[in-house]
Structure 1
């Protein structure tokens, strides 16, 4: 079963509008439509001409936004030996956690916990994996809800966003996991110390991005919208196009797919 996209086209518009600090009226004045049209679009109306004007005023890629409104794109399925995604319900949404392991040595690392770590524990037991680490992308409750159940020998998070149940590390720290390398990139903006973990050594490079970026969207700029856009550009879009992106919500995607389909990054189209 496919995990639905985290955001619809109107969610993208809302995130960009909030990030830029624009009211409905100021956005309407900026792009030459009525405030009622702005509100209607945010409620789901799909007038393409208005969409294109709003996209231009918000710095979004209009055709990609229209593609979302037409529900015309979904990322290709991802299958990488040594990578598993776990999607668990958290209140009125779902949240992802990930397990990465070296298929040869069976050494594993978990990334975030989701609402419940039980599905991950079941996978660890069924494959007889040896869990070495739990890495946290950030401290929002849906990502750290079940740290205790995993009983990982090391629970790790960036010193920029410490957590009482985790040991802090300095940005740029690397780890070895059997024949795999886990490195860190700072992708702040959605949260104050958000970290992307890049894993090399599987069939494809993998990046656990937390809420920095979603398939055809991104996390809201709760700390800084401009910073979120900038760190994604500098730290995620500079990865190889084949890199698998593992977001905190919604389906997995790739750098190449996001360059082609993500409205927040028009420069890659």
Structure 2
């Protein structure tokens, strides 16, 4: 499955500017560029010289921004050959990801987020003869839970969600970060990634020869989901929960392609010192 990056440079600039609460006038003055030049960047015009000036005032890495603008980077991460499935589901003109992870030894499985429709998830469950035991939600924004009701009609299993989330869809039980689970014999660790959502959770699953971090909208390949609750917390909790993992850990985001911790350390402009 080949997916393009979720965010363009204009999206990245917008998320950082909004998160820092900077007006166009304020940011342009700080960067020493015209308001027109800044608006052009925000509208997708490529201007490396202007990016160089704006990036430091947004806490972004200018070299990484320029590489993204030039199309010089796309993650090369590959999914595990067994025990993992990525479901890229339609979300209006866009798409959203859900994931199935299972223990190859006994087919015990968990679904991470339910996306916008259950049908493709149910097809993979049947195709691999999986025993769905749990649904884990990274957060409860609509595009990640619209398919949950139909999924639970087919498989009446417990649902877990972070204790900070305002909703508990599907009768979800609330978990405190740090609570441990198992999928068959696979350990699952829970880490707080608050900021995009109030109670966002990253799930770290250790499989046979691989480790996957299902991060929701905390981090995308080359970007972040944005600080809808707190931009500062979104960056800080991602640093603590995700960028403390080894480089070879696969990042399974809520939107866009798979990536790895190492690739994001080297290429994500939001984390220049991660």
Same fold (TM over 0.5): yes
Name 2:264's counterpart in structure 1: 258
Task: Tell me whether 155-164 or 96-105 shows the greater mean CA deviation.
Answer: 155-164
* Matching of residues 1-269 of structure 1 within 5 Å: 1-80=1-80, 81-151=82-152, 152=155, 153-161=157-165, 162-165=167-170, 166-268=172-274
TM-score using structure 2 length: 0.96
Give the distance between the partners of 1:223 and 1:13, measured in 2 at CA: 18
The alignment's C-alpha RMSD in Å is 1.0
CA offset at residue 73 of structure 1? 0.7
Per-residue deviation, 1:167: 1.5
Structure 2: tracts of 5 or more residues without a match: none
1:211 offset after TM fit, Å? 0.2
What CA distance in whole angstroms lies between the structure 1 residues aligned with 2:21 and 2:176? 32
1-structure distance, mates of 2:111, 2:42? 36
Residue segments in structure 1 that go unaligned for 5+ positions in a row: none
Moved more, 234-243 or 72-81: 72-81
Secondary structure of the 1:96 match is strand
Measured against aligned partners, the alpha-carbon deviations of 1:237-266 in whole angstroms (never above 9, x if no partner) come to 001110000000000100000000000011
Cα distance, 1:177 vs structure 2: 1.6
- Secondary structure of residue in 2 paired with 1:266: coil
Give how far 1:90 is off: 1.1
2:252 and 2:139 mapped to 1: Cα distance? 14
Structure-2 separation of matches of 1:143 and 1:46: 32
For residues 78 and 249 of structure 2, the distance between their equivalents in structure 1, rounded to whole angstroms, comes to 11
Aligned-pair CA distance for 1:79: 2.3
| Divergent runs of 4+, >2 A | none
Offset at residue 267 of structure 1 (A): 1.1
What's the CA shift string for 1:163-218, capped at 9, x where partnerless? 14211122211111222001100000001000000001332110000000000000
Distance 1:97 1:252 in 2: 12
